[in-house]
Structure 1
């Protein structure tokens, strides 16, 4: 970055002064700062030593240093006292800036650049600094505005001098930039694809560099940052778990709770209770994130954001267990790249084994290479015959239904598809959570074929292996879904067997209900445990048992559920407690969450006929989160059993 570009970015950015202080370090004493924002340090008296992220600089009169948020500054006075000014500010680019400036900002954020020097004409800078400090500490709006004006003059004068002296800023490396990007946007959707696009790197390169430096993938770091912030909010505020989940980037409070427990070892409520009693300990499979990021520090100026700072210490130890898999990954990526170069064509699915649409091989040629051509929503794709190594990021149930155990699946499905657990074994590898799949992990698994629901991820997946977008909206029935998966995975016979068995089991489950309740009885599915101040009513699509109850079991919804949810093709709606009588039927299925007490229910609920007559069927959210075809069948059988038992006990 040149200084002219630097000033252009400042000119198109929003700047906020956070604090201006004057510090004195007594001789032979030390101070340390873990910067909560971008900062200038301007020494006006004394000598000593200063370390910026471990890099040593001589500290002398009129020495100026700039560093970004999260940097560690250590100062040590020599044989005389050291006096310095300390400016903290925050800067962010305006979204309406030109594309060139936005690109320059994302490549080299000027508010994160590091530079240090002794200017040739420091007295002018000192006058700006002294005026700025005096105006700021009068603490009046007008004077603070004047301080901001002085701050701009200080920066302009400094850049002029640095440009004349030929001082070049030290570019923050990509990993540090990603860390800062995550800290600023942890509450927003973050994916490897979006980060790779910002820095114009391939996903594989970006992930490799980040993991080499930190010992973890970018998405793992996102998750840990969010969990660390959630811990802070749990301890320091009375925010509800749902409010905290949304604040740290998770719209589904149930998913957030499960993820929190996996990372920390306890639920958010359990963690909060432990904190109140002083019993919070590092009981997580991960090292306690806050302490590990800020260990061995004694900051003079600190906020919780900066505990997320990654240090280089311990990188070798963290990477010891990853050398083998990194080697395998690199070998596989190299193989794919060589194959792609040798192919000479851009394929229809970006995979080196697939031909371009302009040079489509004959069916005989495909058979000779062990490939099959199948039609998908993304066009024709050449896939292996009888694939053995399958990776699936969502539709785990249909894959298992045709007799295939995948080598990798998303942990969203592994954790929440509880009814499928008996059909899985420990060999299935976790490829990351839905929305933050680890592409490097997928590469390591060397799949024969990838099954995804996500059209946006298709391009990246297809660079690794033949990829099929499995769009369930294309199939009218569960039977069609399973038949399609059988064709994709070359398991047509297994698919036929499952479909035949499905029909028998569906009829048996419906007979159980038919013998237990009246044919015209209505049923509703509701959730008041994962939401606040209202009732969630479930339709016939999506998770939470809707597909199982209405589609497979053929149960009758109330007229309001039919017209307001099912007919409008909505998965669920949120209704006020005053209107629950319009939605709740003769029987009601209620979702529960382990270890979570239901809210105090109003009279409009307790006065319902279904509630007063105990026509309530409770189902576990953990088991009913998934909505795939196989899980839905197992859920339907479970509901039928529960209704049968409910009636038989009366």
Structure 2
């Protein structure tokens, strides 16, 4: 026996008493806020409505029917100028017959304990029936009350006819409203948009898309707006120091708070406080205690008692504070347990249906890539990338990141002057989150768990990959495969031309050493895979390193450089020396001046910033520098 038949048998075998038929017209200035159903009941709404049952929000655009069990918390907010709703309360009594077949799980088939909602195909029938029921109920006459009881059974019959025919338009919880409610109640915490999406069984890209469609903002912009509004309240009504306001409103620090505040409000927090307090001379800290900031308000609420406290009048609030029901931490972060009478399978089926409805759109906008941390779903065409190192590769692919590791003295420093610098060695999760990335590319697997809660994160072992492997991977990752192929072809053509130039000038058998001046008494010599031009000079152009460098660095696994004392320098002698700016400190060093390359003026001083990087943009610039200066020094 299926659940619907079992429920119908229960309805048929149990005495039902109608307790009340209520009708209200409310506008945008009113709401039914957290009304607790005293017993089971049906709720009927007309027009555009935001409604929540036990803090699970729904949004409907036409006539809708809901059922709530006893103690269900109900909130209704009008989306149109005026909406009409009915509440029909009833109580189930004793069983009249033995026809009911008990289910192994009675809660699954008890219709009085279930919570559900749907949109009927014929709303006029329900609306007219409910209006007649309400009119008759108001008289209090026995005959009219008897009419209402009969009409109630007709109502239940019509509802189950729709349910059993499978023609109902089942209402799904509004994912965006759920996220908004959670943010309003937990904005002081570190909120991961990626984790919210995961716990709601919705893809990250789908959540971002739905959120922007509904609110015109990204989730991170919306969250920042809540924090800014809270900060405005503190600035205008208290004398609390900026640092404490920053901490109290969920900002990383005072600097982060000040930057975001100015970005959103157009003026600094200090100027805002002066401007507001100049018109609020009587504001005090006591006022702040009496009207502390919380989700309802920043609070333009006027609590008036009306009809047993059911209706709360309120002034118009900002759009993002319109829906007042708070989603519990357990619901969002603890697995979304079903309410009594609703099985996990029913909730999973509901979510699965929503996912299937969006599957085609999702397929077109995301893909799965294999990474060091397993398969990761990423946007097909990411727009806001944060990358740690190798930002020059992205630039060559035509993508400017919103955040990257340092760019000091890089050939692309000017191009990325307005890009936020993130610390690749001291991760600031709040800073990364504030950039609202839709993709993070990182090299430290230990930070994956933190970053993946912010946005889809791809961990790459940059330094074990060749230029071709890395640029090809990045091109496929960000949807720029053809540009990656073009960039690599141009690079290799340039290398081939460089090899020919070296050969034409008889330099193919010359040796080159790469040095950096360190602390007094030593120099650092690099191999062929740690920047400083090593990849280009040794691997691509084919120039040779001194034999000691080959034996002690290049051929030694996981060794990228060695430190050499001044006294040992002659043992690493080379025809050409490439070194950083600090090499001038050795001008008076006797051993240094004795080196053949120094005596023959074959010392090439590089820009350490340019040569620190080994992305394809930097390597193209380095290749030009190497060839130009090598030929000049050889003359």
Report TM bin, short chain: 0.3 to 0.5
- Compare CA radii of gyration and give the structure with the larger one: 2
Q: TM-score, normalised by structure 2?
A: 0.45
Larger relative contact order (CA 8 Å, sep ≥ 6): 2
Q: TM-score, normalised by structure 1?
A: 0.44
